[in-house]
Every structure is written in structure tokens, then in C-alpha cells.
Amino acid sequence: MKIISIEARAIDRGFQNQVLQTTRVASPMSRFPRFGEKRASWMWPTKKVFVRVTAEDGTSGWSCTNGGEIVAMIINDHLSRLLTGEPLDDIATLWDQMFFSLLPCDRSGFSMMAISGVDIALWDLAAKTQNQSLVEMLGGTAEPTLPVYITTPQPEVHGAAGWSGLKAAAPFGPETGKVGLDANVTYMRQFRDVAGPDVPIMIDAFMAWDAEYTLQFLDAARDLNLHWVEDPIPPYDIEGMQRIKAEMDDSISLALGNFAFSRWDCADLLREGLVDILQPDVAWAGGISETLRILDMADTADIPVILHNTCEQPWALALAAARQTDALVEFVDRGAESQLYGLMGPPAMFKQGRVTIPQDIKGNRPQPDVEQQFAPAIAGAHMEGR
């Protein structure tokens, strides 16, 4: 079975309208007053990128990633021409072809989002051609549900829902001084009051802090029994990360890896002994093929993995269910009406803090209005001269 087309479309699904974008949340841009009040003021291209890979029998595999028009251009103008006409039976080789072809451009960020989008669609297509669910393709699971922690700006709404943890996005960074630091601690105290003494609470700083501020915050919040602090500083600041790790209370974990874009980025964190909980995003870190390698590396290092933003990605849920032991997954609370739920099929189903594993052999499928923006798939087509 050969690939006859690869297409990507950047489509607005309301990412900039969610609460985490329209309220003050600390970020690497918070240090600049113009961009400090809300993420939406500076965020990179935020249209979702939907990817369709079609085989010569007309079957299509689908996926979704980030990066807007930039990632769609990489897929449509470069990766598509490399893989069109190639056989579907060796996804690992197709991944290598994409990766090495982009080395002159970059090996992270938008390039890896593009590779991820194509790779996930290839896996979806392979599962469909074999009449299996992705969970089955990855080895199957005996567990129909997985425990979930929630990232939310409204802990009071979710405190009694049975989640395995409540995570906050830090509102303030070093640019606001002691006032902002105290406000961060007060905010986390709300999470502890709602969660009670037994449910973990966590904070995500989204690379907005520095080592000194991180340690000051952890000292000020020492009575709150934080479970982890996530991505407190940019991933390139290895020395800063080493200082945090050396000086922080060892009862608190360092959760890193949202912005690890490959196995090599993850290997750096593991080799330096910096990460307690690894959190790569399947749609950013090279797709299913690369995440399988990352899971193996982390397992060898005996470091737990929680796949970033799991519950919006059916492929991430499938990986967690089929390839992890005692997996914990993340749900991001984007508000009751967000278009970001169910981008690739029915929205995730929750009950008592657990999510149902998608096991439909029909695989990924975007909403009808998204699919209409793609050209009709060509059923029964054949590649000539390949």
C-alpha cells in the first residue's frame, strides 16, 4: 500500500479564546509589559494544523498538531513531496526521511510539530488498513480507563470531581517582584484548600521564571506540600536547572519536557539527572514513533512519564494505555464551550476522575466542517512510476 497524498490545513479552532489565553498567565514574554497581561497578546501561530494522509485505496489517516500556517507550509511544501509514493509499511523509515530532510532548518519547534502531525496520521492510516484500533496496534490494554489530573484556572469547580491532582498555571513571574510571588503563593493556597490534604497540587510556570525566583517561590510555598513544579525556566538553561534541582526540597518533583521536541532533548534531561517527571507532548515531540523511543528511554532511567495534554489527543491516550504501567494523564480545562475538545472525534469521556480509552477501529476523524476544507480523497488511485 502506497501513500498518494499528504495534506495539511491550518484552521482556527478558538485557541486564543480560552481562559488560559485571555487572563494573566506567566510566560517567557511576561517580562515585557506589553505582553504580560495575557498569552494571546504574543502567542505563536495558534491555528490548529489538521493533517490527512491518503493511501492508494482511498483510506485516510488523520491527525492534528500546532503551529498554524508555518507547520502547514512545512508539511504541504516539503514533507508531502518526500513521502508521496512511498510504501506505508515502514513508518520508522518514513520518520527518518522527514527528520533528516529538515536538519538544515531545525530539529525542534515547528519542524518537529510538522513531523509529528504526519507521523500520527501515518499510524492512524496503518491502523485503519489493518482494521485495528490504535490501542491494539500499540499492544492493547486491559484497562478501559486511566486516572486523570486536571490543569485548571478554577479549582473550586473541579475540587470534588475525583481528579488525581489539580494543577495551576502560575499567574506571575519575577518581573512582578515580591507582590507577584506572594500572589502566586496565595493562588496555590486556594488549590490546597480545595484539594484537601491528600490530593496532589502542582504549578506550571511555563518557562517564565529563573532559578532564583523558583527557589524563592518554593521556599514561600513550603507549607503547601506541592507535588511538582513544572517547566520553571527555559530548557536551554541547564545550569539554572541544576541549581534548582540541587537546592529545592527533594520532596517536590521537577516536571520537565513540554518543550522537549525529540528523544535527544529528553536524553539531555535524563542524562543530567534533572527531571523527576518527564512530560513530552506527542504532537510536538515527533509523534507516536518518537514518543515510543522516549518512553523506552524513560523506562530505562526509571523516570515516570506523563504525556502532556493527553486527553485532547486520542493517540496520547492510546500510548499511555498500551505502553505505560500505572499511567497518569492530563486534562486541560479550557472552559465548557471550547472548540478544542474533540478535535479528532468525540470528546474524551470522564467519570470520577478517570478517562475512557478510545478503542474505535474507525480511528481519527475531524469535525465535518474541518474535513470539508480538504480536497476530496481519491479512492482507488494508483501511483505510476514509483
Domain definitions of the chain by residue range = 3-132, 137-356
3-class state of residue 176 by DSSP: helix
> What is the reported pLDDT for 298?
98
pTM for this structure? 0.96
Domain 3-132 has CATH 3.30.390.10: yes
DSSP H helices in the chain: 19-22, 68-74, 80-83, 91-101, 109-129, 134-137, 155-158, 177-195, 211-220, 238-247, 263-271, 287-301, 314-323, 368-371
Mean pLDDT of the chain: 95
Distance CA 329, CA 346 (A): 18
Q: Which of 78, 158, 227, 308 is catalytic?
A: 308
User: In this structure, are residues 46 and 79 in contact, taking their beta carbons and an 8 Å threshold?
Assistant: no
Q: Quick one: 326 exposed, middle or buried, by C-beta within 10 A (0-12, 13-18, 19+)?
A: exposed
**Digit-coded pLDDT (tens) for 182-230:** 999 999 999 999 999 999 999 999 999 999 999 999 999 999 999 999 9
Computed from CA positions of residues 124, 130, 133, 138, in that sequence, does the dihedral angle turn out positive or negative? Answer: negative
Of the listed ranges 97-111, 171-185, 206-220, 300-314, the least confidently predicted one is 97-111
Quick one: pLDDT band at residue 379, thresholds 50, 70, 90?
Answer: low
Quick one: pLDDT band at residue 336, thresholds 50, 70, 90?
Answer: confident
> What is the reported pLDDT for 376?
86
Q: For 284-289, what is the mean pLDDT? A: 98
Distance CA 276, CA 274 (A): 7
Quick one: pLDDT band at residue 385, thresholds 50, 70, 90?
Answer: very low
Distance CA 345, CA 315 (A): 11
Amino acid at 68: G
**DSSP string spanning 225-275?**
---EEE--S-TT-HHHHHHHHHHS-TTSEEEE-TT--SHHHHHHHHHTT--
229 phi, psi to nearest 5 deg? -115, 130
**Digit-coded pLDDT (tens) for 44-89:** 999 999 999 999 999 999 999 999 999 999 999 999 999 999 999 9
- The closest of 265, 174, 158 to 216, measured between CA atoms, is 174
Overall size of the chain counted in residues: 386
Distance CA 42, CA 56 (A): 42
What contacts 42, CB < 8 A, 6 or more positions away? 27, 29, 35
> What is the reported pLDDT for 247?
98
Amino acid at 105: C
**Digit-coded pLDDT (tens) for 261-283:** 999 999 999 999 999 999 999 99
158 is catalytic: no
Distance CA 53, CA 60 (A): 5
CATH number of the 137-356 domain: 3.20.20.120
Quick one: pLDDT band at residue 375, thresholds 50, 70, 90?
Answer: confident
Q: Hey, which residues does 332 pair with through a beta bridge?
A: 151
Give the DSSP H/E element, type plus range, for residue 51.
strand 48-55
**Digit-coded pLDDT (tens) for 2-50:** 999 999 999 999 999 999 999 999 999 999 999 999 999 999 999 999 9
CA 108 vs CA 26, 96, 102, 195, 384: distances in Å: 23, 14, 10, 36, 34
Q: For 352-368, what is the mean pLDDT? A: 95
User: In this structure, are residues 122 and 62 in contact, taking their beta carbons and an 8 Å threshold?
Assistant: no
Give the DSSP H/E element, type plus range, for residue 330.
strand 329-332
